[in-house]
Amino acid sequence: MEVRGVKCDVRSRWRAFALLALLCTSHFALYTSPTFAQGIRDRIRGNRDKTTSVNEAQASELTLTITQVEVRPIQVWVRTAGTGEGQVLRAFVPNDDARFIKPDQRVRAFPPEHRSSMFQARVTQVTPGPERAQVIVTLVAPGLKGSSRYVLEIVTEHGDLLSVPNEAIIETGDKRVVYVQGSDGSYAPRDVELGVQGELFTEVVKGLMPGEQVVTFGSFFIDADHKLKGL
């Protein structure tokens, strides 16, 4: 038997068969390995860590700050417009917001003409309605002469809740993600379910435990780095 000018006897045919089998086996192993299953691009880019590391110099440049997940009071400032004569002002707020408004709560009142002057006020009465509640607010001192309209910020307390700073939360599509610091100093994204959104802090219903450390200022950069690496 002659194959392309090479003489083949039975022994050499057996050797060729053995070589072919060996090649097939090694290729099968290669194609079924986890590295290959990730795709050629992934194999070329190497096996990467799923977390993002930031060294001290980078952290300083990014002004990276870390905050503990903990139970803390959450304030929501309900913003509305109030009108009235003298020190008594009347405002309307949606019932959802009105649930947390109670007499004697603190109110910050700003006349539109005086943007940098704040007048202190208190909630004196809350009357629920079918859709909106009427809130009566009384200024602590006489207001601005000639001004009958005020922008009101009613400071409502929602109690002590497990929370993270608002800036720690990154919205990606319909998901809410925070970056959690690992014990080795790396940062990994974590999906979270959120509750009450306050002025500075947002309640975390699911996804984080008290005592965990999350990235606040600088989370955007961590997220960008994470995405650039395609993690």
Partner 1 sequence: MRNLIRRNTVAGFVAAATLATMAVGLEAQGVKISDPTSVVMIVNRDSNDIAFMDIKTHKMVGSVFLGNNVNPHMVMMSPDGRYVVTGGTRANKAYIIDTKTLQLVKTIPVDIAPEHLAFSPDSRWYYQGNPDGDSISVIDMQSLSKIKTIPGFVEPLNVTFLPDGSKAYVGNYGAHWVGVVDVRRHELIKKIQIAEVPGVAKLDPAKYLGEIHGINIAMPSPDGKYLYAADGTLGVVGVIDPREDTVIKHIRVGKDPWRIYMGHDGKYAITPNNGDQTISIIDLKTNTVAATLEAGPNMTGVNFAAGKAFVISSTSGFVYVYDMNSLKPAGRIKMGTNIQLETATTDTKEEKLYLAESTNHQVLIIDAKTEAVERVGNVGLYPWGTHIMDSKDNYCH
User: Could you tell me how far CA 200 lies from the centroid of its own chain?
Assistant: 13
CB 89 within 8 A of CB 83: yes
Within residues 7-46, the interface with partner 1 by CB under 8 A covers none
Question: Please, which residues bridge with residue 203 across strands?
Answer: 163
Rounded Cα gap, residues 135 and 103, in angstroms: 9
Site for partner 1 contains 57 (CB under 8 A): no
Site for partner 1 contains 103 (CB under 8 A): no
The two tokens of residue 4 are 């392309």
Among 115, 174, 183, 230, binds partner 1 (CB under 8 A): 115
For residues 153 and 223, which CB has a smaller minimum distance to partner 1 in the complex? 153
The single-letter DSSP state of residue 177 is E
Q: Which of these segments, 22-30, 59-67, 172-180, 181-189, binds partner 1 (CB under 8 A)?
A: 59-67
Rounded Cα gap, residues 70 and 210, in angstroms: 5
Give the burial class of 97: count Cβ atoms within 10 A of its Cβ; 0-12 exposed, 13-18 middle, 19 or more buried.
middle
Q: Which of these segments, 18-26, 48-56, 63-71, 88-96, binds partner 1 (CB under 8 A)?
A: 63-71
Site for partner 1 contains 229 (CB under 8 A): no
For residues 135 and 214, which CB has a smaller minimum distance to partner 1 in the complex? 214
Report which secondary-structure segment, H or E, holds 45.
Answer: helix 40-45
Closest contact distance (angstroms) between CB of 153 and partner 1 is 10
Amino acid at 105: Q
Within residues 174-213, the interface with partner 1 by CB under 8 A covers 199-201
Q: Using CB under 8 A as the criterion, which residues of the chain lie in contact with partner 1 when the complex forms? A: 63, 65-67, 73, 75, 106, 108, 110, 113-118, 120, 140-142, 144-145, 155, 165-167, 199-201, 216-217
